[in-house]
Structure 1
Amino acid sequence: MDPALTYADLSFWHATAGDLTPRAGLDGDTDADVAIVGGGLTGLWTAWYLLERDPALRIVVLEKEIAGFGASGRNGGWCSALFPRSTVSLERAHGHGAALDMRRAMIGTVAEVGRAAESLGIDCDYARGGTIAYARSAVQERAARAEIAEAERYGVDDIGWRGAGEVHAAGALGASLDRNCARLHPAKLVRGLAAVLEARGVRILERTEVTSVTSGCVETTRGVVTADRVVVATEGYTATFPATRRRILPLYSLMIATEPLPPAFWDEIGIAHGQTFTDYRHLLIYGQRTADDRFAFGGRGARYHWGSAIRPGYDRVPRVFEHLRRTLVELFPAAADAAITHRWGGPLGVPRDWHAAVTYDPATRIGRAGGYVGDGLSTTNLAGRTLADLLTGAETELTRLPWVGHRSPEWEPEPLRFLGANAGMLAMAAADVEERVTRRRSVIARVMAPLVGH
């Protein structure tokens, strides 16, 4: 954490999430039934579903900063059914049935997050309006229609085509509408979940840095936690531990938020409350209409840093913020005069094969989950339910999903990791240029597809 900043400075979401006063940290050695490393959504959902299965469990959550400090509190607010690897890719790796089970589980998770938040009294601006994905060229339209056809083949999605007269992004030939997505305020969700857990007796120890995790033991800078079972839920920050430095690559994603815009503006561009939006370019963008009528808009473009370094200064890259502003205005020219009120970013976690995973080793009694590649706002909930089953020894439909027990290969050592990660980012930008020039599907994108989960 940059000492010149407060936690409210982390993002628009943190600035509007309410009280961010840190909780007390660990004060000497203690013990627990379950110790959870990481106060983000994976760890907190795991704690909640564990309590549902066994209310008597003594659970300790250890967080270096405050609950929701990382990607859980800074993301784009898409509670979607997206999984880092496509259904086609999962089918190739695990078979048709397993791929469909994973897709159904993700779709069900969108509803489960809304149900759970409502039942717990967490007002996180959840509204299920779906995702509009604009097709702004003939190449993108073909990609959109292929995606819809693929979804129809699997028969589990609710996605359809909207013609040019029904969408209002500049130059759009049409758009797909995937109804399996909800908009929400991520920091309100994660902070609200932490408060509910604390009221249920979970000890959430903030500003407590974990230094090592071994079977039955979590060492911190403020004492040792002895626990029967341990869950590691550190996502992009997994790379900060020497033992797991190459397991996850921390890739930065940045965002901007505008001032609130009048209802007439939203009527003009055709984005309703609860809707998120993107298009079919390769260098990903994502946005939503917030509950208070702002754009919250983000995308890739920030480079990977040598040695998987994570530093506060990497959260803010003026070049990328300006790129995001220009891209937003390119999509919606009427937003040209909208003031940008917030700029932020943070690292997300990318496994070498872009395959998120949940694991539990009965021998060491250590569970892990992560590798969401930015699709974690819903996937964390599925991970929490799955870890709760694994840690309590239950055999369920969730524990049979194909991401359970998956082991991704490690990332290459430097300098190969630095060269490969940044070359991949440049390749995605080059693929967009190639399609604009040739008006054909990008050769670069086809070559890169297997490397990014497609």
Structure 2
Amino acid sequence: MTHYTLRPPVVASPSERSFWLQDAGAAPVTQPLAGDATADVAIIGGGYTGLWTALRLKEQEPELRVTILEADFCGSGASGRNGGQVHSWFAEIDLLTAVVGQAEALQLCRATADAIDELEELQNSRTIDMDLRLDGWLWTASSRAQEGAWQKALTMTQALGENRFTLLGADEIARRTGSRASYMGIAETKAGTVQPAKLAVGLRQLALSRGVIIHEKTPVTAIEPGPTCILRTPQGSLRAGRVVLAANAWLASVPELLRYMYVVESEIVATEPVPEILQRIGWTGGESICDAQAHVLYYQRTPKGRVIFGRGSGKIAYGDRIGPSFNRSTEQGANNRRELARVYPELRAAKIEHDWSGPIDCTAEHLPVFDHLAGQPNIFFGIGFNGTGIAQTPVAGRILASLVLGKNDRWSQSGLVGLSKRTPLPPEPVRYFGAKLVRKAIRLRNDAEIENRSVNPVVRYISELKPGR
């Protein structure tokens, strides 16, 4: 009989938690699962994906018994560690089109735009205080190699009559970011920033208010499948007719999923509050900014004048071995500190008060995938958010809810459903050592291109072996 063993997440110590989680403060933790319990639907993971799925299920069937099992506390994983950037899928419409076709790609992009409207309504109605600021998302270039990185998305959206982006020049970028490091790019108007941990806490509270049962400090160690699945935890078990796996990078411990996903580390730093400096250089808004380098650079300023600066350039996991170093980089944000000084020389002397990291679940297509496990029609999953989830997980929740409820609708029939349609990755150890080689080449190429230097042909060739674009 098939039996799934899950590797419990390595919980971050309080000092290793993200600035966001520390800023949001400690919320009361629900009781761990003790003894035997039952549910109609069990969700493993209390981050954005799990919480939105629970909310979508309750919207459609309020009497459904939904239970979330969270290894630490809701939002303690990727949902509370990310860069806090809110933007739609229109920036990835070319990637979506390659997977689902143009018609559905447009529908999915519009769905994420609707999700941003939903977040705005949650904020304006005071349902969730998430510090949402829709001042725009900027996708910029600070070197010749980065110029036009956005061209496919821009051309496709314009051809479809979706004028989501505006072109930016050096003066406009400097006016909105206080930096002249980037000199051209585009902006998505209805986008911006959020305090991601506050959003997770708010979604948790909303789920509880709608009757979702949440057991925190309850890692699931094993799943025994069947018409009624049994989820084993350290102090009890939960029986459920349907199960949703929503534990992002930690789902690498399921061999079937590991074949299609890889786990990388993202590193972020937060400065001390420097509102006077930011006021002086003219950075006063809530825009989110992405530099179009290969090791994507993303940053924002908080309402109180901290600078949040992140890069997706961290280590690679060997298989499902996501150790303690994924909670805080051994480099302690050294690359981010260097890039911060390049983009904002005025902040060279600013103290870095927080540095943290976290694992990101990625697929070759750089898009999430949804399905049920092979031979297990009642165990569903969503993986591969690739570090982009604030406006995307509300859509993921709709897809997973339709799959769980057995509906035949646009969500269950989405082209994002179907693991076998995706690109499998090489087995270990080829995957790990190959990825390390490619990562090193990308870093060398990136460092050269930022300074507009020529790239060694061998380095360029190896760097282009990475999955996806």
* TM-score normalised over the length of structure 2: 0.87
Letter of the structure 2 residue corresponding to residue 314 of structure 1: F
- Partner of residue 190, structure 1: 200
Counterpart of 2:444 (choices 424, 430, 436) is 430
Residue 179 of structure 1 deviates from its aligned partner by 2.2
Counterpart of 1:359 (choices 366, 371, 374) is 371
- Partner of residue 453, structure 1: 468
- Partner of residue 4, structure 2: none
Per-residue CA deviation, residues 382-441 of structure 1 (Å, 9 max, x unaligned), is: 111222223223333333432123443443222111112222322322332453455699
Per-residue CA deviation, residues 81-106 of structure 1 (Å, 9 max, x unaligned), is: 148x9322333343322222222223
- Partner of residue 338, structure 1: 350
Q: Cα gap change, 1:143/1:65 in structure 2, threshold over 3 Å: closer, same or farther?
A: closer
> Match of 1:98, SS?
helix
Distance in 1 (alpha carbons) for counterparts of 2:23 and 2:99? 42
User: Please, what is the CA RMSD of the aligned residues?
Assistant: 2.8
Counterpart of 2:433 (choices 419, 422, 425) is 419
Distance in 2 (alpha carbons) for counterparts of 1:374 and 1:3? 19
Asked whether the equivalents of residues 131 and 177 of structure 1 are also in contact (C-alpha less than 8 Å), the reply is yes
Give aligned-pair identity as a percent.
31
Q: Cα gap change, 1:22/1:431 in structure 2, threshold over 3 Å: closer, same or farther?
A: same
Asked whether the equivalents of residues 219 and 225 of structure 1 are also in contact (C-alpha less than 8 Å), the reply is yes
Letter of the structure 2 residue corresponding to residue 60 of structure 1: T
Letter of the structure 2 residue corresponding to residue 5 of structure 1: S
Matched, 1:389 2:402: yes
- Partner of residue 74, structure 1: 81
- Partner of residue 46, structure 1: 53
Counterpart of 1:131 (choices 117, 137, 149) is 137
- Partner of residue 404, structure 1: 417
Distance in 2 (alpha carbons) for counterparts of 1:101 and 1:293? 36
> Match of 1:345, SS?
strand
- Partner of residue 267, structure 2: 254
User: Unaligned 5+ residue runs, structure 2?
Assistant: 1-8
Counterpart of 1:369 (choices 382, 389, 397) is 382
* TM-score normalised over the length of structure 1: 0.90
- Partner of residue 296, structure 1: 308
- Partner of residue 3, structure 2: none
Asked whether the equivalents of residues 144 and 452 of structure 2 are also in contact (C-alpha less than 8 Å), the reply is no
Q: Cα gap change, 1:453/1:413 in structure 2, threshold over 3 Å: closer, same or farther?
A: closer
Asked whether the equivalents of residues 139 and 440 of structure 1 are also in contact (C-alpha less than 8 Å), the reply is no
Residue 226 of structure 1 deviates from its aligned partner by 1.2
Asked whether the equivalents of residues 136 and 287 of structure 2 are also in contact (C-alpha less than 8 Å), the reply is yes
Q: Cα gap change, 1:89/1:200 in structure 2, threshold over 3 Å: closer, same or farther?
A: closer
Matched, 1:55 2:62: yes
User: Unaligned 5+ residue runs, structure 1?
Assistant: none
Which shifted more, 226-235 or 312-321?
312-321
- Aligned residue-pair number: 451
Distance in 1 (alpha carbons) for counterparts of 2:191 and 2:80? 18
- Partner of residue 118, structure 2: 112
Residue 145 of structure 1 deviates from its aligned partner by 5.4
Residue 381 of structure 1 deviates from its aligned partner by 1.3
Matched, 1:307 2:319: yes
Q: Cα gap change, 1:110/1:139 in structure 2, threshold over 3 Å: closer, same or farther?
A: same
Per-residue CA deviation, residues 134-180 of structure 1 (Å, 9 max, x unaligned), is: 32233333435565344423432511222222222234323321224
Counterpart of 2:239 (choices 216, 226, 232) is 226
